[in-house]
């Protein structure tokens, strides 16, 4: 159990270090409806990560392996190799998309509509960002593969999934809870974090994706 948690923790951290959703939730917390938008976004983010990871966990648990492999898992190994390569390629793409020196980073157009967003829209936005973002999808899939092939009982599997999802949601949960319980102190801090994340988004994501991709590749090689 502890080995599984230690193995999937980097994947959860990779999802947590996602500048775009953090910027989005900070903008919501600085909008006219900070509490309902922030809490709805947090709920959607948590649900999106949990759904993808659970689905891959259940799928990985029923993937057959050839007999007589002496403990090796070539099918899972191939899956992990593919996931690792995709993560590294995504990191390269992020690096190439970074803004030129001296230019302002370009944020998604939908962020300009956050002030007029309703709580349900915030929940669906977070659900989409968590479940369909390529980086999150690959990281959650890699974690779900590990959990699904670890021969855990149902209780331990639920604990692993819950722990993974909580860690992956921390960077969204902390600003929301900060703004809910200490709104006056939160405003200037969150504004500074938003500016820094927007300026360094590509660099942060490149490092996270390449490191995680290398780790998943290593697991894939070790599965043979």
160 in a domain, yes or no? yes
Percent of the chain with pLDDT over 70: 91
How sure is the predictor about 204, in pLDDT bands with cuts at 50, 70 and 90?
confident
Domain limits for position 111: 2-69+105-199
Would 182 be classed as within a structural domain?
yes
Answer whether residue 204 is part of any domain. no
What does the pLDDT look like over 68-80, one tens digit per residue?
Answer: 545 566 777 787 7
Contacts of 19 (CB under 8 A, 6+ apart): 197, 198, 200, 201, 204, 205
Residue 191: inside a domain: yes
User: Is 116 inside a domain boundary?
Assistant: yes
* Six token digits for residue 170: 């921390």
Give me the number of domains the chain comprises.
1
pLDDT digits (tens, 9 = 90+) for 111-138: 878 878 899 999 999 999 898 888 888 8
Taking the CA atoms of 137, 143, 148 and 152 in sequence, report the sign of the dihedral they define: negative
C-alpha angle 205-186-23 in degrees, rounded to nearest 5:
25
Whether residue 184 lies inside any domain: the answer is: yes
* 129, 20 Cβ separation under 8 angstroms: yes
pLDDT by residue (tens digit) across 94-105? 788 777 666 666
DSSP-assigned letter for residue 30:
T
Q: Within a domain: residue 112?
A: yes
pLDDT per residue as tens digits for the range 17-76: 888 889 999 999 988 888 999 999 999 999 999 999 999 998 877 666 655 545 566 777
Of all residues in the chain, what percent are helix, strand and coil, respectively (each to 5)?
80, 0, 20
Whether residue 97 is contained in a domain is answered as: no
């Amino acid at each position: 159990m502890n080995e599984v948690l230690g193995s999937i923790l980097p994947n959860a951290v990779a999802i947590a270090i996602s500048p775009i959703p953090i910027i989005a939730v900070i903008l919501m917390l600085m909008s006219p409806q900070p509490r309902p938008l922030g809490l709805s976004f947090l709920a959607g983010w948590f649900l999106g990560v949990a759904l993808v990871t659970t689905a891959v966990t259940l799928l990985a648990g029923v993937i057959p392996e050839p007999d007589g492999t002496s403990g090796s898992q070539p099918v899972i190994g191939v899956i992990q190799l593919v996931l690792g390569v995709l993560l590294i390629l995504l990191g390269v793409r992020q690096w190439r998309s970074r803004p030129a020196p001296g230019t302002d980073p370009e944020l998604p157009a939908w962020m300009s509509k956050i002030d007029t967003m309703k709580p349900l829209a915030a929940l669906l936005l977070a659900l989409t960002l968590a479940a369909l973002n390529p980086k999150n999808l690959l990281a959650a899939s890699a974690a779900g593969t590990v959990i699904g092939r670890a021969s855990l009982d149902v209780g331990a599997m639920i604990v692993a999934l819950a722990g993974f999802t909580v860690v992956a949601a921390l960077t969204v949960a902390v600003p929301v809870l900060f703004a809910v319980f200490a709104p006056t102190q939160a405003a200037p801090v969150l504004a500074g974090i938003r500016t820094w994340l927007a300026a360094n988004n590509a660099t942060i994501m490149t490092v996270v994706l390449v490191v995680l991709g290398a780790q998943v590749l290593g697991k894939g090689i070790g599965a043979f």
